[in-house]
Structure 1
């Protein structure tokens, strides 16, 4: 049974050869795929297509992938849909920039289609709903994480988190008071092996801190080790 069967993927890239290849591979996995070579059509198409995940190229004319991602995150209907950036700009600074703009993952061109499919599966797995047994409501100080509603609030005000940020905060709150290494977070949140770039963690932690700023930054850095959620 194909793990991606039935998933709806919207691919946005101005290179038809790239979109054709990805579309073909995902269709073989049982996905329903929509392709756009014009980034200006993304929001309208996405509202109709209702994708489970976006694949965005960054370097596109008129509207680059980073701006498209910001539009997605600002849209009430699309803001929680995960985004994977697929781009020729593979330097560390570019990856960090993509994650800071709300991306959930970042793959550099040229890419291996098998890796891309595995990354898509990983992102969809952590963004999907849990089973009834797994659903929790975690409270620490003014922070409330409700897994059933997939909602986080600080002092009664809802905070918008990406799927990855939500899972990261959930893990930190579940193990509050305990130090979690970057490698531990990569394995449990990203399902990656420990050879993956750990700066990915630092970028997401920084974004999470900014969004939880109303609670005096409960995520503590343990220098040279990792991070800890401070119990309130």
Structure 2
């Protein structure tokens, strides 16, 4: 079975070496790049299974790298975990809007990185079609096994986070979920994320659902629910 390949993009050599050492020890195949330009070239040449992407890069920055990768059909499904400086909330939000799957703030523990990588890869793995039937709510068809969503029969493309949030809300239409409950359900307990990040995912989800997006209701001061 081939090893999962990861591209690490960071302009700090110490961080590259630290991540490379720890991830290779866990059995991953590692490629490294120290600039946005080299990152895009590496993706083109090696087609990694996941990208660990620092946002502060010389030349083409991490946000632009994420935008380019998510805009092209052949790279749009590659999961991206952003590496960000503490307090750069606006960059985190922008990265999530572009389709990044997760983020970790510096300084970080290698164990946290490894856990996040494994979690994202689990969520990104194609699940077998084991008889799980699509759930349909308000004309929105959701197939958990295939991770597919269709609105009135037309398939739409969601990020992993958007799919997980929609699937979570659809399990109990009419039930109000807080932002922290949503985070715990789709990311795991203890995931450090701001309320704003959850809001961004909801905005993106509504936009992609088109007219059906109105079934996701905001309950002021509490959270979100799928219309009953």
TM range (shorter): 0.7 to 0.9
Match of 1:109 among 100, 106, 121: 106
For residues 86 and 199 of structure 1, the distance between their equivalents in structure 2, rounded to whole angstroms, comes to 18
Provide the residue aligned with 1:78 in structure 2: 75
Q: CA RMSD in A?
A: 2.4
Shift of 1:57: 0.9
For residues 137 and 57 of structure 1, the distance between their equivalents in structure 2, rounded to whole angstroms, comes to 37
User: Aligned runs of 1:24-103 on 2, under 5 Å?
Assistant: 24-88=21-85, 90-103=87-100
TM value normalised by structure 1: 0.86
Provide the residue aligned with 1:214 in structure 2: 211
Helix, strand or coil at the partner of 2:30:
strand
Match of 2:162 among 160, 165, 183: 165
TM value normalised by structure 2: 0.87
| Unaligned residue ranges in structure 1 (runs of 5+) | none
| Unaligned residue ranges in structure 2 (runs of 5+) | none
For residues 65 and 207 of structure 1, the distance between their equivalents in structure 2, rounded to whole angstroms, comes to 20
For residues 9 and 155 of structure 2, the distance between their equivalents in structure 1, rounded to whole angstroms, comes to 30
* Alignment coverage as a number of residue pairs: 227
Q: 1:14-41 deviations in whole A, cap 9, x for unaligned?
A: 2222212111110011111111123224
Cα 1:43–1:217 shift into 2, 3 Å: farther
For residues 157 and 43 of structure 1, the distance between their equivalents in structure 2, rounded to whole angstroms, comes to 32
Match of 2:226 among 220, 226, 229: 229
Cα 1:198–1:136 shift into 2, 3 Å: farther
8 Å CA contact 1:126, 1:189 repeated in 2: no
Cα 1:8–1:206 shift into 2, 3 Å: same
Match of 2:20 among 23, 47, 64: 23
8 Å CA contact 1:154, 1:214 repeated in 2: no
Q: Which moved more, 1:197-206 or 1:41-50?
A: 41-50
Shift of 1:89: 5.3
